[in-house]
Amino acid sequence: MPRSIADQTDEELGGPGSVLVRQRADHVQLDRLLHELDGTTGREQEEVLTRIDRLVFSHAFAEETVLWPVIRRVLPDGDALTLQIETEHQEVNELVAALEEGGPDHPERPARLARLVEVLREDVRDEEDVMFPRLQERLDAAELRRLGRRWELMRRISPTRPHPTVSRRPPGNALSGLPLSLLDRSRDAVDTLVRRAPAVAPAGRAVSRGLAAVAAAVERTPVARRGDGPPTAR
């Protein structure tokens, strides 16, 4: 069995710029946030969830756009491997969307939060223990670093919020990524301003709702849904 990337040094994984090193660093940060989430309530819980969302969604979108096509090309069972992870990503999108829609007092919130943590940890293990060691066997260090640069660039311009109806595969994810990223990051800035300046909260919330409505329209366009299929299509 290939060794988990969790048990390897940076050099073994291709050096500091390798996509495997970058992925593991995000997973470590996610683990810290999930531990921080445990036991929180109210506004503190919302703050931690926001940080988790900003990390998870840009990370996953960059994976689906940059990494998964490579894995499908170089591994004979790459399609099945990526479909499993895409299914986990889809469930995360749906859980976070449900948490946002239901609000802090929804009776299903504790169960949804528990399932969200469970799926996120499953996703990390599937990637670090199964998928990435297989990819490591097929690519040399230089290729892993080149892929790391591409993944990092895409992560910086990827959406930061759940979009359950967007395709998990090209061309839909690639074509919808930039407009959704601009809308999400604008909402992030507005929501941050609302938290820091209560005087502008009513206007800020209205702007945020407007941006959310535009994003919902974008993610439901036919072009944004192209390329997806069961079980991730919604």
Per-residue pLDDT tens for 29-73? Answer: 999 999 999 989 998 999 999 999 999 999 999 999 999 999 999
- Displacement of CA 35 from its chain's centroid (Å): 18
* Spatial contact of 10 and 141, defined as CB atoms under 8 Å apart: no
* Spatial contact of 94 and 86, defined as CB atoms under 8 Å apart: no
Task: Give CA separation, 45 vs 23, 50, 78, 109, 144, in Å.
Answer: 25, 9, 37, 12, 36
231: pLDDT strictly greater than 90: no
- Displacement of CA 199 from its chain's centroid (Å): 32
Number of domains in the chain: 1
Does residue 232 belong to any structural domain of this protein?
Answer: no
How sure is the predictor about 2, in pLDDT bands with cuts at 50, 70 and 90? confident
Judge if the upstream peptide bond of residue 69 is cis by omega within 30 degrees of 0: no
Does residue 88 belong to any structural domain of this protein?
Answer: yes
Which residues form the domain of 41? 9-225
Does residue 231 belong to any structural domain of this protein?
Answer: no
Q: How far apart are the C-alpha atoms of 87 and 122, rounded to whole Å? A: 11
Instruction: With H, G, I as helix, E, B as strand and everything else as coil, classify residue 165.
Output: coil
Does residue 52 belong to any structural domain of this protein?
Answer: yes
- Number of Cβ within 10 Å of residue 161's Cβ equals 23
Does residue 216 belong to any structural domain of this protein?
Answer: yes
* Spatial contact of 135 and 77, defined as CB atoms under 8 Å apart: no
Does residue 124 belong to any structural domain of this protein?
Answer: yes
Task: Give CA separation, 217 vs 52, 117, 222, 225, in Å.
Answer: 24, 28, 10, 12
What residue has token string 């490579």? 70
What residue has token string 């005087």? 199
For residue 229, what are its two tokens?
A: 């299929």
pTM > 0.75: yes
233: pLDDT strictly greater than 80: no
Q: How far apart are the C-alpha atoms of 135 and 91, rounded to whole Å? A: 24
- Mean pLDDT for the chain overall: 95
Taking the alpha carbons at both ends of the chain, their separation in whole angstroms is 35
Does residue 234 belong to any structural domain of this protein?
Answer: no
For residue 20, what are its two tokens?
A: 């495997």
